[in-house]
């Protein structure tokens, strides 16, 4: 059954789904090259196909001249490629948000012409009635459904957006304390523990990310399907504009930053996950994972550093005087639980080639700019 999702959380950016698209009728304009083959108009799409990319990044991949290069939705049309190649270009397909990789109608079926798959979505809502049915099973089964279809179609590689939630020791201090997490660390929660009644949704969600990734590695080993798992923590950066039609539909992590100056809270919020990675770095990591074989079979933690909400508020007071009357009071809220833990990015640097990460001040500033632009559409009084 389709699983309802909240608006796409920035923590798990670009959303890609693969749909079995019907063959276009004779004379369909797919056979006519787009006048700008590498950069299609952001709102143009073929009537027989969903929009072909949804993701909050503005980075670009290099198109291949003879095939759909890295991402493709559904089978290619009988006459060949469309003549242009949508790359990392922000799109929103509302239908894609309503499903989490259900089994294809009529059983498993491949997607001829698909070379690579990015499996980036997992149910991310804490408005649940049954953690096992609403979070655990969709996360695990959705991942396995994608991998089964990929294997049947002869896909060369699957990149899975896992999470720091699959790494963090949530039975210990989690993201706090003087320690460094690496690709060898795993969230200690088991299926049975996470599925028990009364377990907080955040724990169930985190366990689901760990268990889905574990299932993916087992499938990869058994079926010899190359995969890469990317493990980012909280993700900030410019929001997907089409997704946020009101303050209530702003994605989860952008909403956390918006709370600092929206007037909806009156004190600095409690710190829960100070570790972050900018959405543009996460998108770049997905592209690099497709372009290199050096990271095949690797878990790749991603991190641009850490900051607390007090750090963020201090920075906004210093750099955004126009927001001073809207910001939460500087001397408010509770102190952070302690120093933030660290995440090793060795694999990202050495195997993936992601040498540098956007810092938190840039990510914060660009997120605020994005939200202020959205406010103009929402007609929110400034």
Give all domains of the chain, ordered by start, each with its CATH number.
Answer: 45-240+279-306+342-363 (3.40.50.720)
- What the block records as the tokens of 235 is 């993700």
- Give one DSSP letter per residue of 116-135, joined into a string: EEEE------S--S-HIIII
Rounded to an integer, the average pLDDT of 91-119 is 58
pLDDT given at position 146:
92
- Out of 174-188, 212-226, 227-241, pick the least confident: 227-241
Task: List Cα–Cα distances, 2 to 100, 364, 372, in angstroms.
Answer: 6, 34, 33
Q: Does residue 188 register a pLDDT over 60?
A: yes
Q: Does residue 96 register a pLDDT over 90?
A: no
Q: Does residue 177 register a pLDDT over 70?
A: yes
Where residue 120 falls among pLDDT bands split at 50, 70, 90? confident
- What the block records as the tokens of 371 is 């939200």
DSSP state of 15: B
Q: Is 214 a catalytic residue?
A: no
Global model pTM greater than 0.85: no
**pLDDT tens, residue by residue, 22-72:** 333 445 444 333 333 333 333 333 333 322 222 333 233 333 333 333 333
Instruction: Please pick, among 209, 214, 310, 351, the residue that the annotation labels catalytic.
Output: 209
- Report the mean per-residue pLDDT for the chain: 77
240 vs 10: CA distance, rounded Å = 9
Give percent above pLDDT 90 in the chain: 59
Where residue 298 falls among pLDDT bands split at 50, 70, 90? very high
Rounded to an integer, the average pLDDT of 74-84 is 34
**pLDDT tens, residue by residue, 354-369:** 999 999 999 999 999 9
Integer-rounded Cα Rg, in Å, for the chain is 21
Q: Greater confidence, 310 or 22?
A: 310
């Amino acid at each position: 059954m389709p699983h309802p999702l909240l608006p796409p959380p920035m923590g798990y950016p670009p959303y890609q789904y693969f749909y079995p698209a019907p063959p276009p009728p004779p004379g369909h304009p797919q056979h006519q090259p787009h006048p700008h083959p590498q950069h299609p108009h952001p709102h143009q799409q073929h009537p027989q196909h969903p929009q072909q990319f949804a993701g909050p990044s503005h980075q670009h991949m290099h198109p291949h001249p003879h095939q759909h290069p890295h991402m493709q939705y559904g089978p290619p049309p009988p006459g060949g490629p469309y003549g242009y190649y949508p790359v990392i270009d922000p799109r929103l397909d509302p239908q894609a948000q309503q499903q989490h990789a259900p089994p294809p109608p009529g059983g498993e079926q491949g997607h001829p012409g698909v070379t690579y798959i990015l499996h980036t979505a997992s149910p991310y809502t804490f408005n649940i009635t049954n953690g096992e049915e609403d979070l655990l099973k969709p996360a695990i089964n959705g991942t396995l459904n994608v991998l089964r279809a990929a294997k049947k179609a002869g896909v060369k590689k699957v990149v899975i957006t896992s999470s720091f939630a699959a790494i963090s020791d949530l039975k210990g201090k989690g993201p706090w304390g003087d320690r460094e997490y690496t690709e060898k660390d795993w969230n200690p929660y088991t299926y049975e523990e996470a599925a028990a009644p009364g377990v907080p949704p955040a724990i169930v969600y985190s366990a689901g990310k760990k268990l889905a990734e574990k299932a993916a590695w087992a499938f990869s080993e058994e079926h010899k399907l190359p995969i890469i798992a990317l493990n980012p923590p909280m993700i900030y950066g410019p929001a997907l504009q089409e997704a946020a039609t009101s303050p209530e539909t702003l994605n989860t992590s952008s909403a956390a930053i918006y709370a600092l100056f929206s007037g909806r809270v009156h004190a600095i919020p409690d710190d829960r996950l100070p570790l972050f990675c900018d959405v543009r770095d996460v998108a770049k990591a997905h592209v690099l994972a497709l372009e290199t074989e050096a990271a095949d079979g690797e878990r790749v933690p991603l991190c641009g550093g850490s900051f607390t909400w007090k750090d963020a508020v201090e920075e906004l007071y210093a750099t955004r005087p126009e927001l001073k009357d809207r910001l939460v009071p500087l001397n408010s809220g509770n102190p952070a639980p302690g120093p933030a833990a660290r995440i090793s990015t060795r694999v990202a640097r050495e195997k993936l080639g992601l040498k540098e990460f956007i810092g938190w001040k840039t990510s914060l500033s660009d997120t605020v700019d994005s939200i202020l632009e959205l406010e103009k559409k929402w007609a929110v009084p400034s």
